């Protein structure tokens, strides 16, 4: 498979204007270079935006079912090459092969979902207050959109954004996470292979502060859809706001799993282990807080530690590995720093939390899964996003306290509760300040047919996937057709004219 890529602009692969490149490495074996890619700047972004603007009118005028057909064909290629692309993802991003296959399956599922939306790009017909007048609403694509995506779901997140943008009639400039340019290039090749018209999809590799910033600031971009950190999201929102640019933000999180005394403990433990440590905790929906009732806390903790002790850490290509490496050295050091912060704050580290060494680990970025207890809700490890294999147990004594603790952070993406008490279920559903609320299920595992997004500082109100996926990429247009043959005045006191 090819491992050196430039940018994909106007249907062609081209070098960065500066000639500079960046490399992608395998986080499990960081001496292995996965590939070499363009390091882009403002001139490259401008070239891509120009191509997208030139392609926009014809793409907008392409019937929506035809636009959706390109998405379906890309999804079918993903399905056909799932295993091959999963190996690429595991080598570049690090997650286990099972998780890589799941990442790609999300994209496949969303392609099938969005092809239907191409025939459901519905508006409404609305009765007029006047005679012989017809009113309806239409969706109109907003124009060129910039998609800035992270490294943790290198196929799923770009397709969640990109498939919806294409079906809506927008043209795209895609700036992928700088740690996963090969995955982005493989995805881009699929769009090229299905014959997407030149300029409709453009991929520009590079660093966030260079290519990403140029994309946000470009006056030819109508909207930015960004998934990443709260700090970067705030900057994008400020810069986009000054330009009256539409901005969709999916940002940080501090997700919680509540465990009540009547819970199925085996299920709750498995949900906690999977929710906290899948993808080595590098998910925006990872369970970084376990809010456990005092009556079952000791038993829950004991069972959780037994489960975590069985979780093998290693190269994601190995079939029995459950925790793969973290993405890079910077993230590894951040995780270790937070573990030290937790200990300094007085939380008790029950297991893990150290950098793994030895022949199997020395050439990668590996951290043993960490479980804290004696965590109070105001500790930094209970308030700040760590984005690694770290979780903490917080004791509570009632459903009131559980909800209060769950809601006590600035974030609100995903929360779950394990209980069979119907009162707890409905109190939870009504009161938690999270965009995703699960009962007897982990905080991870969103499905493509429902809206995805969070409350509070997790985002700015937009949702991805599901029936709302087209909302960000379209404007509502009201069309009124008067066939009365005379001037009719709406919003006038008609009775006075009788």
| Assigned token pair, 409 | 């952070």
The half-sphere exposure of 299 on its side-chain side, counting CA atoms within 13 A, is 13
* H or E element at residue 423: helix 422-431
DSSP code of 313? B
CB 85 within 8 A of CB 106: no
Active site residues: 250, 284
Q: Tell me the longest C-alpha to C-alpha distance in the chain.
A: 92
Beta strands at 474-482 and 133-141: parallel, antiparallel or unpaired: antiparallel
What are phi and psi for residue 91, nearest 5 degrees? -70, -35
Tell me the torsion sign for CA atoms 278, 281, 285, 291: positive
Q: How big, in percent rounded to 5, are the helix, strand and coil portions of the chain? A: 40, 25, 40
Burial of residue 320 (number of CB atoms within 10 Å: 0-12, 13-18, 19+) = exposed
CA distances from 462 to 93, 135, 283 (A): 27, 27, 19
Write down the residue that tokens 């489960």 correspond to.
307
CB atoms within 10 A of CB 228: 21
CA dist 24 and 489 (Å) reads 64
| Assigned token pair, 417 | 């509760």
The half-sphere exposure of 342 on its side-chain side, counting CA atoms within 13 A, is 35
Burial of residue 264 (number of CB atoms within 10 Å: 0-12, 13-18, 19+) = middle
3-state secondary structure of 314: coil
Residues in CB range of 497: below 8 A, 6 or more apart: none
């Amino acid at each position: 498979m090819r491992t050196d890529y430039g940018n994909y602009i106007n249907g062609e692969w081209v070098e960065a204007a500066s000639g500079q490149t960046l490399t992608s490495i395998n986080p499990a074996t960081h001496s292995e270079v996965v590939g070499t890619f363009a390091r882009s700047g403002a001139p490259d972004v401008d070239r891509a935006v120009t191509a997208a603007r030139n392609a926009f009118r014809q793409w907008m005028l392409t019937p929506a079912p035809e636009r959706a057909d390109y998405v379906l064909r890309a999804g079918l290629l993903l399905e056909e090459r799932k295993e091959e692309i999963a190996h690429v993802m595991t080598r570049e991003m690090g997650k286990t092969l099972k998780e890589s296959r799941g990442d790609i399956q999300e994209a496949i599922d969303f392609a099938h979902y969005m092809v239907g939306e191409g025939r459901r790009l519905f508006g409404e017909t609305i009765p007029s207050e006047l005679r012989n007048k017809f009113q309806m609403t239409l969706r109109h694509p907003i124009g060129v959109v910039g998609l800035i995506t992270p490294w943790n779901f290198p196929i799923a997140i770009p397709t969640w954004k990109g498939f919806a943008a294409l079906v809506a009639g927008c043209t795209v400039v895609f700036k992928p996470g700088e740690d996963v340019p090969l995955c982005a290039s493989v995805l881009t090749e699929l769009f090229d292979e299905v014959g997407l018209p030149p300029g409709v999809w453009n991929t520009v590799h590079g660093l966030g502060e260079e290519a990403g910033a140029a994309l946000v600031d470009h006056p030819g971009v109508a909207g930015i859809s960004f998934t990443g950190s709260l700090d970067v999201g705030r900057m994008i929102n400020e810069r986009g706001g000054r330009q009256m640019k539409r901005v969709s933000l999916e940002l940080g999180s501090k997700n919680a799993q509540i465990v009540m005394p009547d819970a199925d403990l085996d299920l709750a433990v498995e949900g906690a282990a999977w929710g906290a440590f899948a993808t080595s905790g590098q998910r925006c929906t990872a369970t970084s807080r376990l809010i456990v009732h005092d009556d079952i806390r000791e038993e829950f903790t004991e069972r959780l530690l037994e489960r975590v002790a069985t979780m093998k850490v290693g190269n994601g290509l190995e079939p029995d590995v459950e925790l793969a490496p973290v993405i890079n050295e910077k993230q590894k050091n951040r995780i270790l720093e937070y573990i030290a912060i937790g200990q300094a704050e007085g939380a008790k580290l029950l297991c893990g939390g150290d950098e793994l060494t030895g022949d199997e680990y020395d050439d990668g970025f590996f951290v043993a899964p960490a479980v804290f207890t004696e965590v109070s809700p105001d500790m930094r490890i209970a308030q700040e996003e760590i984005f690694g294999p770290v979780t903490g147990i917080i004791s509570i004594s009632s459903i009131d306290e559980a909800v209060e603790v769950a809601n006590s952070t600035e974030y609100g993406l995903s929360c779950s509760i394990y209980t069979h008490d119907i009162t707890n279920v409905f109190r939870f559903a009504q009161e938690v300040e999270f965009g995703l609320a699960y009962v007897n299920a982990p905080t991870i595992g969103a499905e493509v047919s429902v809206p995805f997004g969070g409350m509070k500082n997790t985002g700015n109100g937009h949702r991805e996937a599901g029936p709302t996926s087209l909302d960000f990429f379209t404007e509502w247009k009201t069309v009124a057709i008067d066939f009365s043959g005379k001037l009719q005045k709406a919003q006038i006191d008609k009775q006075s004219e009788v």
